[in-house]
C-alpha cells in the first residue's frame, strides 16, 4: 500500500525460569547437608551449574558453607540463587573411646594414654594413683598422658585412675575408670 510493506510477526516472550532452593542443614559437622532446586520453566530442559561443580537438581553430603546455583533453560533464560547450609549442632552423634592399657616405652606405639572424643568438649582429664594422689592434669584433649607426672617424673607400672570432665550439649558430665600402664 502506497509503497509501504506490512510485516506481521509472532513474538514469544519466554519468562525466565523460577528457582527455589530448599535445604537441609548439616548436623554436627558430619557433611549431612543437602540442597534441592525446584525449577519451573516453559522451555525445558534445564541445566544446573552449582559452584561445587555439580550439575544435578539435588546436591548432598554437604558441609557448612555457601552454595550458589545458576540455571539455564532451553531458550537461554537464566536464573540464579544462593543459600547457606548451617550446622544445627543438635542431637550430635558423639563417642568417647578410652583405652584401658598403654605402654609408654618409647617404641612409638601406644606410648600415650589418649582419649578420643567426637562431638564433645573436654573440660579436663585427671590421672590419680591408687592412693588418690593426682599425678597428671590437662585441659588439652590432644595432649595424652605419657606416664609422667606433671613435674616430669616417670611413674611405675600399675593401675591408675582417670577422671574425665566434659560437656555434651553444654551439660557437664563425668566419666571415670581405671587404666593399666605397662612399660
Q: Is residue 66 part of a domain?
A: yes
Predicted model pTM = 0.50
Q: Is residue 5 part of a domain?
A: no
pLDDT at 91: 58
Q: Is residue 3 part of a domain?
A: no
CA distances to 50, 54, 100 from 63, rounded to whole Å, are 15, 15, 34
Number of domains the chain is built from: 2
Judge whether 133 and 158 are in contact, CB under 8 Å: no
110 lies in the same domain as 80: no
Low-confidence ranges of the chain (pLDDT < 70): 1, 28-29, 89-93
Of 38, 55, 85, the residue at which a domain comes to its end is: 85
Owning domain of residue 80: 18-85
pLDDT at 87: 79
> Please, which residues have CB within 8 angstroms of residue 123's CB and are 6 or more apart in sequence?
139, 165, 166, 167, 172
Amino acid at each position: 500500500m502506497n509503497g509501504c510493506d506490512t510485516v506481521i510477526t509472532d513474538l514469544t516472550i519466554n519468562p525466565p525460569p523460577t528457582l527455589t532452593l530448599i535445604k537441609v542443614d548439616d548436623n554436627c559437622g558430619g557433611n549431612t547437608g543437602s540442597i534441592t532446586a525446584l525449577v519451573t520453566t516453559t522451555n525445558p530442559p534445564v541445566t544446573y551449574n552449582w559452584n561445587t561443580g555439580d550439575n544435578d537438581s539435588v546436591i548432598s553430603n554437604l558441609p557448612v558453607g555457601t552454595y550458589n546455583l545458576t540455571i539455564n533453560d532451553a531458550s537461554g533464560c537464566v536464573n540464579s540463587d544462593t543459600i547457606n547450609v548451617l550446622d544445627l549442632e543438635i542431637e550430635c552423634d558423639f563417642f568417647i573411646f578410652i583405652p584401658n592399657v598403654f605402654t609408654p616405652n618409647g617404641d612409638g606405639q601406644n606410648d600415650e594414654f589418649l582419649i578420643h572424643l567426637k562431638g564433645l568438649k573436654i573440660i579436663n582429664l585427671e590421672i590419680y594413683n591408687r592412693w588418690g594422689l593426682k599425678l597428671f592434669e590437662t585441659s588439652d584433649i590432644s595432649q595424652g598422658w605419657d606416664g609422667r607426672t606433671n613435674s616430669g617424673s616417670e611413674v611405675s607400672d600399675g593401675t591408675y585412675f582417670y577422671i574425665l570432665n566434659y560437656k555434651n550439649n553444654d551439660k557437664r558430665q563425668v566419666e571415670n575408670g581405671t587404666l593399666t600402664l605397662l612399660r
